Amino acid sequence: MKILHYRNYFFFISAFLVLASLGALLFKGLNFGIDFTGGAFVEVSYVDNVPELSEVQALLSESGFSAKVQPFGENGFIVRTQDLTHEEHLSLISAVTFEDSIPTEERFTSIGPSLGQELKSKAMIALALVLIAIILFVAFAFRHVSKPISSWNYGIVAVIALIHDVIIPAGIFALLGREIDALFVVGMLSILGLSVNDTIVVFDRVRENLHENTKNHTQETFITTVGNSIQQTLVRSVNTSVTLVVVLISLFIFGPESTQNLALVLLIGTIIGTYSSIFLASPMLVSLNREEK
C-alpha cells in the first residue's frame, strides 16, 4: 500500500505537529481553569425576567468581580471567579440580583489552590497509568506474535501514537488559549481509549494475517501484510471516525457553552487519532522490522 511506501513523509508531518504543539505548550502554556488553580463556581437561575448575559457580566464587573459567566440551560448562568470568602459569596449573589428578577442559587463550589494542585497531579498520574496499562495489555494480547517483530513493539508503537494524539490537542488548546478544566481531562482520557481502539483494530488484523500466512505457508513480506491489513480496515476506521466527527461538530456548534471544550478536544483527538492509527502506528511497525531492511 502506498501509505507505507511514503511513511517517511507522514513521520515528518507528525514530528512537525508534535514539535509545534510542544512549542505552544512551552511558550504559551495551558490556561488552567479553577478546577486546577482554585476558585469558586456559582450556578444561579432565574424564574422570571431572565437577564441577558451581558447584563450579568456588567453587574459583576461593576461590583469588582473578575468573573467568567456562561449561560446554563434556558434560565440560568454559571459564574466562575476567584476563591470567595463567605462575605464575598453573599456579595456576588447580591450583585446578580435585579429589581424585577431575584436569582436562586442552585450550586456553589469552592476549590482551594492546594486542592487544585492535587487535581492537576492526579490528572497527570491518571494519564501515565493509562499509558502503562495499554503497553502491558497490548504486549499481553500480542504475546503469541513474535515474528517478524516482538510483541512488545506493538505496545510501544501504540503508546507512541497515543502520546502523539495527546500532545497535539493539548498544543492546540494552548495556542487557542482555551481554558483547561476537568472536562478537558475527561476528553483526553477518552481520546486515549478511542485512539488505541482504532490502532488495535489494525494491529489485530496484522496479527490475523500473519497467522494465516504461517498456516498457509504464504511467502509474503511484512510490509505487504501490514499494507493489506490497513486496506482491510481502512473503510471501517474512516466511517467510524467521520460519524463521530459529525456528532462532535454539531455538539460544538449547537451545544451549550459548558460542553464546548469537551466537544473540541474530542473532535481534535478523533481526527488526530484516526490519522495516527493509519499513517503513523502501522508504518512504524514496518520501520521496526529489521529483517526486511
| Residue 173: Cβ within 10 Å count | 25
Domains and CATH numbers, the chain: 2-33+114-288 (1.20.1640.10), 39-111 (3.30.70.3400)
Instruction: Identify any residues that bridge with 32 across adjacent strands, giving them in sequence order.
Output: 180
pLDDT band at 116; cut points 50, 70, 90: low
225-254 tens-digit pLDDT: 888 888 888 888 888 889 999 999 998 888
Average pLDDT over residues 125-145: 75
Lowest mean pLDDT of 17-21, 49-53, 173-177, 238-242, name the range: 49-53
Let me know: does 149 contact 285? Beta carbons within 8 Å: yes
Note the pLDDT of residue 167.
92
Q: Using CA of residue 249, residue 253, residue 255, residue 261, what is the dihedral sign?
A: positive
Q: Does residue 187 carry a pLDDT above 70?
A: yes
- The continuous run of DSSP H or E covering 117 comes out as helix 113-141
User: CA 39, CA 83: separation in Å to the nearest integer?
Assistant: 4
Note the pLDDT of residue 12.
93
Q: What percent of the chain has pLDDT over 90?
A: 13
pLDDT band at 1; cut points 50, 70, 90: low
pLDDT band at 171; cut points 50, 70, 90: very high
Let me know: does 262 contact 158? Beta carbons within 8 Å: no
pLDDT band at 5; cut points 50, 70, 90: confident
Lowest mean pLDDT of 10-19, 36-45, 136-145, 166-175, name the range: 136-145
User: CA 211, CA 189: separation in Å to the nearest integer?
Assistant: 32
- Percent helix, strand and coil across the chain, each rounded to 5? 70, 10, 20
Let me know: does 134 contact 159? Beta carbons within 8 Å: yes
Using alpha carbons, select from 9, 14, 1, 7 the residue that is nearest to residue 171: 14
Note the pLDDT of residue 55.
79
Instruction: Identify any residues that bridge with 85 across adjacent strands, giving them in sequence order.
Output: none
81-107 tens-digit pLDDT: 777 777 777 888 887 787 777 788 888
Let me know: does 272 contact 165? Beta carbons within 8 Å: yes
